[in-house]
Amino acid sequence: MHKRNRLFVSIALVYGLLGGLVAILRLIDPALIPGNVPRMHGHIMLLGLILMMIYGIALHVLPRFGGFPLYSERMADWQLYLANAGLPLMIVGWLTFIDGWVIAGGLLSYAAIILFGLNMILTVRAARSVSHES
């Protein structure tokens, strides 16, 4: 497995632990963590645990399904950087109730989703055009 894809999966697991901890602390005492805690917990789980896990597994598996390489390793590297800059900024925004941070982080997370989608479409397209030629 590519180091970047393994990193996506490991980071997902760390976010899962963090999101679970946030929720449990919230249940123990709602005053322990400041900010919009449910929103923060939800997105640590969904953008952190679930989406990063999907990123890591999909980048590894989808090209292998077709037997063709990923369209762009560089796009996937940038996807890792953007996703992992975006979510922490969103968390800071929800901790401090400063919407600007959530918007900035949201745009970076969104850019990562776009890169992922494009890379997947172009991978499948490239695979299809080669298989049509043969």
CB of residue 120 to ligand HEM, shortest distance in Å: 16
In angstroms, the CA 54 to CA 112 distance is: 13
Of the two residues 75 and 90, which places its CB atom closer to ligand HEM in the complex? 90
Residues 38-97 that bind ligand HEM (CB under 6 A): 38-39, 41-43, 45-47, 49-51
Q: Is 12 in the site for ligand HEM (CB under 6 A)?
A: no
Task: Return d(Cα 80, Cα 78) in angstroms, integer.
Answer: 5
Cα 112 from chain centre:
7
Q: Please select the residue that binds ligand HEM; options are 24, 98, 114, 130, rule is CB under 6 A.
A: 24
Q: Which residues of 45-62 are buried (b: 16+ CB within 10 A; e: fewer)?
A: bebbbebbbebbebbbeb
Helix 99-133, helix 73-96: angle, nearest 10: 160
Among 20, 35, 66, 88, binds ligand HEM (CB under 6 A): 20
Binding residues vs ligand HEM (CB under 6 A): 20, 23-24, 26-27, 38-39, 41-43, 45-47, 49-51, 102, 106, 109-110
